[in-house]
Amino acid sequence: MRIAVLISGVLDYRRPIDKPSSGNWLDVIDSPSLPYRLSPFDEAALETALRLANLGGNHLTIITTDCSADKALTCTLLAYKPDDIIRLSVPSCLRGNARGLVTLLSVELEQQRAEADLWLMGREIGDLDDGHLAPYLAQCWGLPLVSNALVVNTQLTDLSLQRLRINRIEELTVQMPVIISMTNDRRNRLRHPLMKNLALAKRQTIPLHRFDLGSSGAVLSKAQLVAAEPVPTRYDSLENCHILQGEIAAQAREFARLLIDKTQSI
């Protein structure tokens, strides 16, 4: 089984942020020295990937995005001894832009996309993602998506997993290839790397792959983002609210009909 885990990282509030070389704090978002740490969801995805990879005969690739320039964090990830690590330097203008990021990932990860059996990532990936990246990626790549997974196990050629639903835990079996977004759970708490492997990791050099923004028309420039106005909402007053009535099943039917109507009208 080939496993790919996407790691974004979040800003590490415990480490100081250096003033950008330009002297302008507004440029800090592009600073290569921004300190990152793993989010709890990154950790859940990584631990799941490590546990599955350690079962033997499996291949693990770690792909870092927002945090890719952070050498200390890269070193920590290397200390987990993945088979590969790919550092993608994501332009700051793509933070929080799941659709744009997926466009670039599709280009840059074409080979991994074709080879990987299992894609793992946190249920939110990065400081600005609100859970959109995984479904966008699944839609773009035509892969099934399981979200909010707590634990993933192999079962012959399939995967058995538990995922978190409202007020319950659902157990299901899925076929690969599949994208799974993980949420944190006691069972997927990230192990600590060994000091030995950290020391050895410090001696390694992994190139940082930079995107060519000019090649993609789907990406906004940073200047455009700064100037962007808030997007007006379609349902911005109580007049557009629709309260569902009746039994739960009737509400579900009505809600489904509403969604279909709205989708067709967009």
Partner 1 sequence: MANRDHETDLIVIGAGLAGLVAANVAAEKGLHVFLLEKQSNTGGSSALSGGCLAFAGTDLQERLSIDDSSERLFKDLREVGKFENDERLVQLYVDNQLATYHWLKAKGVLFGQELEASSGQSVPRSHNVDPADMIRVLTAHAEQHPNIEIVFNARTLRLLTSDDGQVAGVQYERDMSSFFLYAAHGVLLTSGGFCRNPDLVHRYAPQYDGAICIGGEGNVGDGLRMAQKLGADTSDMAYIKGTFGKHPTDHTNNHSMLAVYKGAIAVNQLGRRFVDESISYKLLGDAVIQQPYGASFQIFDQHIMGSGDNQFRILDFERRHEAGLMYEANSLAALAEQIEVPADELIRTVQQYNQAVEDLFDPEFGRTALVQGLGALVKIDQPPFYAYPSSVAVFGTYCGLKVNEQLQVVDVFNEPIEGLYAAGEVVGGLHGAAYMTGSALGKAAIFGRLAALQCAGMLSQD
How many residues bind partner 1, per CB under 8 A?
A: 12
DSSP β-bridge partners for residue 121: 181
Scanning 90-98, 103-111, 188-196, 258-266 for contacts with partner 1 by CB under 8 A, the matching segment is: 188-196
In angstroms, rounded to a whole number, what is the distance separating the alpha carbons of residues 60 and 58?
A: 7
End-to-end Cα distance, the chain: 40
Q: Are strands 84-89 and 10-11 parallel, antiparallel or unpaired?
A: unpaired
Beta-sheet pairing, 84-89 with 208-210: parallel
Q: How far is the CB of 4 from partner 1 (least distance, A)?
A: 24
Asked if residue 189 binds partner 1 (CB under 8 A), the reply is yes
Smallest distance from the beta carbon of 8 to partner 1, in angstroms? 20
- CA-to-CA distance for 30 and 241, rounded, in angstroms? 41
Sites for partner 1 among residues 68-87 (CB under 8 A):
76
Interface residue with partner 1 among 191, 209, 253, 262 (CB under 8 A) is 191
Answer for the pair 177, 109: CB distance below 8 angstroms, yes or no. Answer: no
Which range binds partner 1 by CB under 8 A, 108-116, 166-174, 185-193, 229-237? 185-193
Cis peptide before 32 (omega within 30 of 0): no
Nearer to partner 1 by Cβ, of 194 and 260: the residue is 194
Stretch that binds partner 1, among 65-73, 166-174, 190-198, 214-222 (CB under 8 A): 190-198
Distance CA 45, CA 81 (A): 15
| Residues between 4 and 23 that touch partner 1 (CB under 8 A) | 14
* Span of 62-70, 106-114, 191-199, 236-244 interacting with partner 1 by CB under 8 A: 191-199
Residue (39 or 97) nearer to partner 1, CB: 39
Of the pair 19, 209, the CB lying nearest partner 1 is at 19
β-pairing, 145-155 with 36-37? Answer: unpaired
Contact code string over 194-223 relative to partner 1, x by CB under 8 A: xxxxxx------------------------
Q: Which residues of 178-206 are buried (b: 16+ CB within 10 A; e: fewer)?
A: bbbbbbbbeebebeebeeeebeebeeeeb
Q: Binding residues for partner 1, per CB under 8 A? A: 14, 76, 189, 191-199
